[in-house]
Structure 1
Amino acid sequence: MSRNLKELEACIGYVFSDKQLMKRAVTHSSYANEHRLSKMECNERLEFLGDSVLEVVSSDCLYHKYPEKPEGDLTKIRASIVCEPTLAYCAEALKLGEYLLLGKGEEGTGGRGRASIVSDAMEALIGAIYLDGGFANAKEFILRFIMNDLEHKQLFYDSKTILQEIVQGRTDEPLSYELLQEKGPDHNKVFETQVLIGKKVIGKGAGRTKKAAEQVAAYHGILELKSMETVPAPKSKDNNAGKKG
């Protein structure tokens, strides 16, 4: 069962005038098919629209935020923000998956946590806000929930590559990932993974796939290494200081 959509409105800070538009944004095609609704009643058209609005807003935001970066760098950053894993990461913060209307089959196979489904729903929600409240409201939503904390989102998107480069620049010890455990039924598993430098664990993560779990572990590994850089070295103490011979 999906949660009350009023809760989602409170979470995103936007109240829809057209409640049916909001409902359509969270209606997956599997639900529409199962309930014999028109193809137009699922969120695919809104996703198409929201994707375009997201690209415009994200491009505008990055253009002004990084005036010194060339087109190629801006394109790479935008790709890291609007890709499926990062949008799913943003959707998770809103618990968007809990509000989706899914068919029984999709529900039973863990659809609420599937990155492809929740990222599409995120774009559909953008499209719905755009139609209901105009460009300014859609832009406000995107800036608040997607274009925030850009540095961390870029790290998250390319975490395994970035971590590999950091480790190679610091040590000859190997970087490796270990699967700690698998939980849940076959159709809805959660994998837990840790990442190590040599034998030292520097990060752990969980995800619906092994790859996703490794990505989260690498992200936490990067944060751990960065935090170690900011810790001041302990001051040496002369135990004989101030003592008389």
Structure 2
Amino acid sequence: MLTAGCRSRKFRSAPHNTFPIGSRGFKERFMLAMLPRAVGIIGLGLLPLLSFAATAEEYRLSLRLNESEPVLVNGLEFVAITQSQWTFYNPPIVDGSPEVQLRITNRSQEDLIFSTFDTFLVQLVGPDARVIERGGGRNGTRRTRPVLIPAGKTYTLCRETRTQWDEAGKTMNFVYLDGTGTIATYALPEPGRYTLRFECEYPVERNGEPLREFEGVKVWHGKVKTKAARMEVLRLSARSRPNFR
């Protein structure tokens, strides 16, 4: 018998392991079912960020500097330093400029003057252990000033460098400007592992004439070839170049 205000309802029993929409059990099962998909969607969204992070890490490592073992000659210690990776891009990018440095430390007990005019040059050795031929020349001459290095102090010689991709010859060219007007060029035959050294020489006399001395301060005279600093030469597409500022 039905009482007033009530209507008869027929409830169909829900099958086992099913839940009405909106119930707590339905929500829990829905969330569990969608969880793998949500993780996949989030993962796809993170891929560009992970790729950017990997590229940034590679770029950071490419800026790392490698240095040679020190060589001590007549009171001055010489160390060759270069960027760990030199990258040549094809099509060419004009702003390639790897770090190349000569670190000079005065290990003597007195101040020393180091002449920078026609006293040093760069030597490159390729993957086949052959010395890369040095080309270039000088159309004009500019006198560079000598450097006074106090006892126990360090001076780092940094000059302009360039890396250029020669589309016509399909070669990689390294250019070093020593500041005197001399432009030294090196044609690198292939990617791979290279080494860099500095050669320095300042004799007491040249062509039978004594070289310049400075009153009251000793001038460094000698001949030295640094140990090798290692780097890797890469040839990449210009589209793979990271754009970091």
Higher strand share: 2
Q: Same fold (TM over 0.5)?
A: no
Higher helix share: 1
Task: Name the TM tier (shorter chain).
Answer: under 0.3
Q: TM-score, normalised by structure 2?
A: 0.20
Larger radius of gyration: 2
Higher RCO structure (Cα 8 Å, ≥6 apart): 2
